[in-house]
Structure 1
Amino acid sequence: MKNGNSRTEQWWRGACLYEVYLRSFADSNGDGEGDLPGLRDRLDYIAALGVDGIWITPFFPSPMYDSGYDVADYRSVDPRFGTLADFRSVTSRAHELGLRVIIDQVYSHTSHLHPWFVESASSADNPKADWYVWADPKPDGSLPNNWLARFGGVAWEWNANRRQYYLHNFLVEQPDLNLHNRQVQDEILDTMRFWVDQGVDGFRLDVANFYMHDPQMRDNPPVDAGDRPANPYYMQKHVHDRSRPENLAFLERMRAATGEHMLLAEISCDNQAERMAEYTEPGRLHTAYSFELLGPVLDGAHIARTVATAGAGQSWPTWAFSNHDVARVATRWNAVGNRNRVNMLQAPLLSLRGTVIVYQGEELGLAHGNVPREALRDPEAVRFWPHGRGRDGARTPMAWDDTPMLGFSKAPGWLPAEPGHAEQSIARQSQDPCSSLAHCRSMIALRKTTPALKLGEFEVIEADETGLSFWRVHEGARILCSFNFTGQSRAVPQHGRSRVLAGAFEGDGLAADGYVIAEAAA
């Protein structure tokens, strides 16, 4: 397959992407870190899942304060992950297998070691002096405003050369770019064109709603009184440091610069579903996902409301139940050791209207890894232990087989392998036609071959904390999708006469942790 975007194809609508957390996927050289050659060698496995493409997490030069999301060079490959030639090899092989390639791009901020920031921080009058967000102290030397950093503490750091503070919405080592500056925007757009020339099919845009800040630097207001969180970041309404209206024009520039190469935004804010719809209006990004369905509670009413809101009008949402930033879904939604429930949780994701993302290991039903405190690498987990999100547990090595390092590497990994994943490994599940891996493959195939599941409208029948039922409707076909989130049997409304495509009815309802996808009789 050639670089497959055209202005008419819109391949991403209804597609299923597979997120590759590169650092933990497959290690080809025995250094304990996943790399691009390792990914290339495992692409056949991904293609056999039936997905339409891969999203690769950052592989650019980085000091790794935030596992590669602190980029020091946007147009190169970190030697720990390989070379630019290795990346081209991945893209070439992926296209041969019919897979699109989406790469992670971090444009909100860079590493503090990026040459741009080194120059910007050197003085107040150099050519890149305004490429980052700098602000004068108040007359008493205190901070410019009350903004807080996502990973804890204040969002401002003093620089003695400039006698100013710089903004960092995340780590001190991740200074924020000033995307109000047209020159910075132009450089970012040129970077995107560079990767298009390398053969990518699209971009996943990290924290896309953080690109702009309030030029007036106004204080954020407090949230309504409630329990004090472990991280004070959540004690503010972030109306001035993210999700700014000034961002929309830049998103439109991105779209114009990259044509129909897929633009997938990550949204992290209040009112996420509304922001997803706003960012994917015509002329802006193709699609967006948020953390709305990555929370601790499985609730059908919340899923139904979120899907309807984010998909309003001409918007096209993307959905995920797991990713590298949250506890794995099998742990979060109480499916560990329960194959029926693991399979049931795969089914609604692959039935929703929108594009969907399967996170590596989700197809296996992997539990969240147990990473001891002394082995933690995630800066957020270290700072807020034991009250943080514990993102390292979602990033432990991929379970290829049941050897001590799970077939990921011949050396100890950058994170420890989770011993409990051995019995759920690909090698074991590949031999079992009733495994969660086999189930995930069949659900992806069903979505791909059933236009109503891939492209149909979403009509809610019933939704509450115990389950979810909806229709997917397309060109006269009506597909019933019903899911039981409880350990007891549950009735299925409006099923009538229908042909079962996946799952099973139990009488007029569903078994505990059961589901059914059925085509309504004509």
Structure 2
Amino acid sequence: MVTAQNGDPNWWRGAVIYQVYPRSFQDTNGDGIGDIKGITSRLPYIASLGVDAIWLSPFFTSPMADMGYDVADYCNVDPMFGTLSDFDEMMAECERLGLKVIIDQVISHTSDQHAWFIESRSSRTNPRSDWYVWADPKPDGTPPNNWLSIFGGPGWEWDGIRKQYYMHNFLLSQPDLNFHNPDVQDAMLATVKFWLERGVHGFRLDTVNYYFHDKQLRPNPPVVYDANTTGLETDTNPYSMQSHLYDKSQPENIEFLKRLRSLLDQYDCRTTVGEVGDGDRSLTTLAIYTSGDDKLHMCYTFDLLSPRFTAKHIRGVISRCQEIVTNGWVCWAFSNHDVVRHVSRFMQTPQEREPIARLAISVLSTLRGSICLYQGEELGLPEAELSFEDLRDPYGIRFWPAFKGRDGCRTPMVWDAKKSLAGFSEATKAWLPVPPEQAVLAVDGQQDIEQSVLNHYRRTLEFRKRHAVLLDGDMTFVDTAADLLVFVREKQGERLLFVFNLTREAQDYALPAEFTEVSPEPMPGYDPPLSDRSVRLGAFDVFCAKV
């Protein structure tokens, strides 16, 4: 068993974290589903990218109604993925390769198959009767309020045994825990300690602002739409039509996060990454949750997981972050297991896939904060187009065809284009299809091509590590009339100027007079000419210089 190790307690600041979706990474037993042994076998590849840590999506015991985000046992590995011994072997290999391990901790809710819920629903007087959010119906039999489930329909489900409703923010088989009960908090912290004792270096906290609900069960008001309101799924999912003032982001959450941090601080070099989904208030919530040194180490929001890949949008998000998050830390990403892969979101034609894949990592690697990469993005994988019959995601099945769900970004990793299922599995069929348009982009075909997207990622991450200013240096935007993203990163006398052309047209950029000395420091893959203090940037081009 791996124990806490000495090292840099701030390793997470500016770290590059590689997300592994275990179901889809590598299958070793031929059942068409990825497993922990498969992850272990591919760790040298992950290390070769130049990342600092891996983030594992859930691998705990689960009925898999929501692909493992419905946990039935927090302290064991689902047999689908292997055993605790397999996990320990993976940890040992990560230690050998110098990789930290972050695991998904899904504690706002459990599976309805968890022993706690089975006991809680058995009566109103059992020892765990108050471990979940139970409420009486209104006199007419309807739910206690108007709270909705993200996955569609009311956020309440009737239970005939207790003759009460229970709350569920997600599937009806994912009942919400009652964090107002200190016994629930203690039990959850005990599961965190279990994995800390096994050597994990951190936790990605799923839906971290969903732990507490309003004890008065006050109804949510409707959203008042104006020019500043954002809601990508308003026309598809009525969840975004409410202002979620009472079913999440409650003030009581702060004290629990302090308890969690206090536990982690008993171990060396540990970290937390919170997922904050709070609409237009996400950055404010992030600022509160990461302020000081007694709550979360860092959080991420969905602000850069949108279809917008423009200088205006990125500058707007980062600027708002700098204004609001004055004493915290952000983790940025363009893709993860819940959104359409970013090359498909950003490109307008298939020919743009590679240049956008390269440009996206170049932008991401220069932002102030830590960054998350999602498996396969280093290959430039586009979103998979799946038929309804192929879907496994309950979210997509519920809202098809208006919303196709998350399976398109969860298809298996492609390793060898010459093999069946692109080397993911020796089974005749994987849990999700391996699309031909992804198979041709497999690792084996990009490994030895100097200009491949894969090797561009490697060189770009090496460039980031070579310049300490990119890890935690200051970031200041430079005003320009052109449609360009321009900023300076600065730390301890080192100043780097970055100019990104995210458009499809060539643009000229005249260096401001304030930069009296300019020495080009080309980012990998880019070297636009500098002539008489003016730079000519082609489409999707980047200029970098020491100033």
8 Å Cα contact 2:335-2:373 kept in structure 1: yes
Moved more, 404-413 or 333-342: 333-342
Shift of 1:52: 0.2
Runs of 4 or more off by more than 6 Å in structure 1? Answer: none
Aligned to 1:241: 247
- Alpha carbons of structure 1 residues 422 and 267: separation in structure 2 relative to 1, 3 Å: same
Please say if 1:265 is aligned against 2:274: yes
Q: Which amino acid aligns with 1:428?
A: G
Aligned to 1:358: 373
- Classify the secondary structure of the residue corresponding to 1:304: helix
Cα RMSD after superposing both structures? 1.8
8 Å Cα contact 1:121-1:129 kept in structure 2: yes
Q: Per-residue CA shift, 1:154-213, capped at 9, x if unaligned? A: 000001111100000000000000011100001111111100111100000000011110
- Classify the secondary structure of the residue corresponding to 1:501: coil
Q: Per-residue CA shift, 1:359-410, capped at 9, x if unaligned? A: 0011111000111110100111111111125310000000111134011001
- Classify the secondary structure of the residue corresponding to 1:19: strand
Shift of 1:46: 0.1
Aligned to 1:501: 522
Shift of 1:140: 1.6
Moved more, 133-142 or 118-127: 133-142
- Alpha carbons of structure 1 residues 334 and 27: separation in structure 2 relative to 1, 3 Å: same
Please say if 1:410 is aligned against 2:432: no
8 Å Cα contact 2:2-2:197 kept in structure 1: no
Aligned to 2:73: 73
> What is the CA–CA distance in structure 2 between the aligned matches of 1:27 and 1:463, rounded to whole Å?
50
8 Å Cα contact 1:130-1:178 kept in structure 2: yes
> What is the CA–CA distance in structure 2 between the aligned matches of 1:371 and 1:408, rounded to whole Å?
18
Please say if 1:516 is aligned against 2:547: no
8 Å Cα contact 1:16-1:358 kept in structure 2: yes
Please say if 1:232 is aligned against 2:243: no
> What is the CA–CA distance in structure 2 between the aligned matches of 1:25 and 1:506, rounded to whole Å?
41
- Alpha carbons of structure 1 residues 429 and 280: separation in structure 2 relative to 1, 3 Å: same
Structure 2 unaligned runs (5+)?
227-232
Q: Which amino acid aligns with 2:290?
A: T
- Alpha carbons of structure 1 residues 465 and 418: separation in structure 2 relative to 1, 3 Å: farther
Please say if 1:370 is aligned against 2:385: yes
8 Å Cα contact 2:9-2:270 kept in structure 1: no
- Classify the secondary structure of the residue corresponding to 1:75: strand
- Classify the secondary structure of the residue corresponding to 1:250: helix
Q: Which amino acid aligns with 2:426?
A: K
Shift of 1:65: 0.7
Aligned to 2:173: 173
Please say if 1:292 is aligned against 2:303: yes
8 Å Cα contact 1:301-1:464 kept in structure 2: no
Moved more, 168-177 or 474-483: 474-483
> What is the CA–CA distance in structure 2 between the aligned matches of 1:190 and 1:309, rounded to whole Å?
36
- Alpha carbons of structure 1 residues 243 and 228: separation in structure 2 relative to 1, 3 Å: closer
Aligned to 1:154: 154
Aligned to 1:393, which of 393, 408, 421? 408
Q: Per-residue CA shift, 1:442-497, capped at 9, x if unaligned? A: 11111112111111111011479943111111111111122111110123353752
Aligned to 1:490, which of 507, 510, 514? 507
- Alpha carbons of structure 1 residues 394 and 465: separation in structure 2 relative to 1, 3 Å: farther
TM-score by length of 2: 0.92
8 Å Cα contact 1:404-1:417 kept in structure 2: no
8 Å Cα contact 2:368-2:474 kept in structure 1: yes
Aligned to 1:278, which of 280, 283, 288? 288
8 Å Cα contact 2:2-2:198 kept in structure 1: no
8 Å Cα contact 1:301-1:463 kept in structure 2: no
Q: Which amino acid aligns with 1:382?
A: I
Percent identity between matched residues is 46
Shift of 1:500: 2.0
Q: Which amino acid aligns with 1:245?
A: P
> What is the CA–CA distance in structure 1 between the aligned matches of 2:136 and 2:22, rounded to whole Å?
39
Q: Which amino acid aligns with 1:261?
A: R
Aligned to 1:477: 494
Shift of 1:295: 0.5
8 Å Cα contact 2:420-2:426 kept in structure 1: no
- Classify the secondary structure of the residue corresponding to 2:450: coil
- Classify the secondary structure of the residue corresponding to 2:478: strand
- Classify the secondary structure of the residue corresponding to 2:285: helix
TM-score by length of 1: 0.96
Aligned to 1:317: 330
- Classify the secondary structure of the residue corresponding to 1:117: helix
Shift of 1:305: 3.0
Q: Per-residue CA shift, 1:413-469, capped at 9, x if unaligned? A: 100111101221100000201111111001111111211111111101147994311
Aligned to 2:444: 427
- Alpha carbons of structure 1 residues 474 and 151: separation in structure 2 relative to 1, 3 Å: same
